[in-house]
Chain A
């Protein structure tokens, strides 16, 4: 029995108790019931992908927990499932998006884009008259437009179905009744709708197109936006169903669907018909664009340099201040150390997003606490902390120093106390001064234990979105004429955020995802290599 267990591994110890088994079955039962319920809902909504995903998860969970053995899976399953959906999938999805042109201009399928273009394919004819409109209803409840041209006094009637209710002029002979002002009050075969009825059918009214001739594409149509006046609309483009092309009526240019760009474009000169496009796969073009696009490269170089500088300066400044404080207060003669320490780590304990807001308020040019109360400047000579690149950079660094030095203070104190005191005592006996002891003995030892944390801090600040975003928003914007705007304090991640979620050029998720993958690669490899180096360092000195 014992040998059998040993073979199976360390953790197949005793027999499972009845109570434990019952609890397990009960929890599994609850999970299964919930899953089955949700899957049934999903089947009813025909969400087959989700049905498959959830079924696989459900079967896997039951398999893992019901079988004997396979212990690691039992402990890993919940974490792995969540990690797969919300981390791995997110990374992979970003990878996929980075090879598409997905964005606010390309956010759907070809059919959706075509629908949108068709919707905007017509416009009111310039200089055409406004008709006085009465919305009426025929016997079959379909809508009729009774439109009066006040200049000529002529009145027309028509419905959206041209063959049944053709657009034609009507006179008193057709049963048209007008009041003394010339407004239509009745027409034979039609019931004029009251305001309330129009309100009830407002969507139908505003979406109705009344053809003004047998060929709606040539003759145009009447349409209304307010139910009191109607305008003559004409088509600017005509869609050809058979060969999926679009003809621009004004000059007869034919646009074809360009599958490599996701636009309708003129094959001769590349002109695009409309900004509205659809999502297509564009391979690595987002990545080549990062390196080749002139509009992007200029600001990007500055942003990359500033990102490294920001992360580096933050780590260095917080570390120097924190270590200095730790050295200063690492002294048994100082009384009330606990209280001093509690005050010193307040910035770290105060929630960072609140600190960001508070500093933003204090940095205000006009009436800001820093300009007025600390520097004693009035509003006219105040420093533009948040609206000029230089001061704004100083401001975010100052904020980050304030936020970060207590952490460095705490970890340096811990590391200092871990250094055996006989080392520095021995050095002191050999005649080394305090500075020499610090530089030659304490600092190297400190760096061995703190290097991984300093690297982690660098990696964290490299992507310190919250502080930049909440204090300056990445601003001030350097060149507002660029399609993708860059700000003076933008670090890579805030720049990417602006590309993805707005800015002058609209959202470009594809480009943003390509950036994300690159940032991930940069930060991943920096961490990987430096951790390996520090590990080597540790082994050498140990």
Chain B
């Protein structure tokens, strides 16, 4: 199966799953390609409501690509189970085609979402805003995609685009043509600098981005630490994963039960996590810029519950 066929394959997967009543949508790289922003990936990131996991697991266990079955990605993938996904974990699957592997990552909740992702769908895809929140990673390469998604929202007359444009020149261009709603000025204080034509805008834009990236770095560090006992326990089993995905899943759940914290960020403390990321960010920026860092607590509220 070539890349073109794979793209169609994943769209058909969503179509089939939805026909079975599964609430799901493609996000991240393939969604960017759909929205007109070329990202080189053949792997699929899928958002799926946790209540639909049993149906998704059945589907994956019955589905093959080029005759190869779907399997969990080695010892590193948490199980496809609501207990862990509600705590921010992702499940990783793959089809080993010999010449290469096709990968599918499943998210029960959209990272950094402030509102439910299922309220914002676009055909087979997660909405632009959802994709833009998920793209706020520690990887520099993801950031031009966020601005592009913000631009597309503004082009569709959706003011939420103002939350996602990080390019000073583009922001100044839009300012002359698109009003900024007051509620967004509260959510993103750096937009006040844009409105007033203040030269500190470019420093505030860098500070915002650094804050998001620091949050992601810290999140990865916390999850990595929490995942290690699970990875060790999985690796030290006396046998490999069953070729049957349903059986492999049951065993993975049993290991996770005793070895994987369902919600490491909550264990760490969401407030502590936000505070630390903010303090680390402040080390990089001038004190006069600190007031323009946004309050990002709403993006981690779902992990509190």
Q: Do A and B come from one complex?
A: no
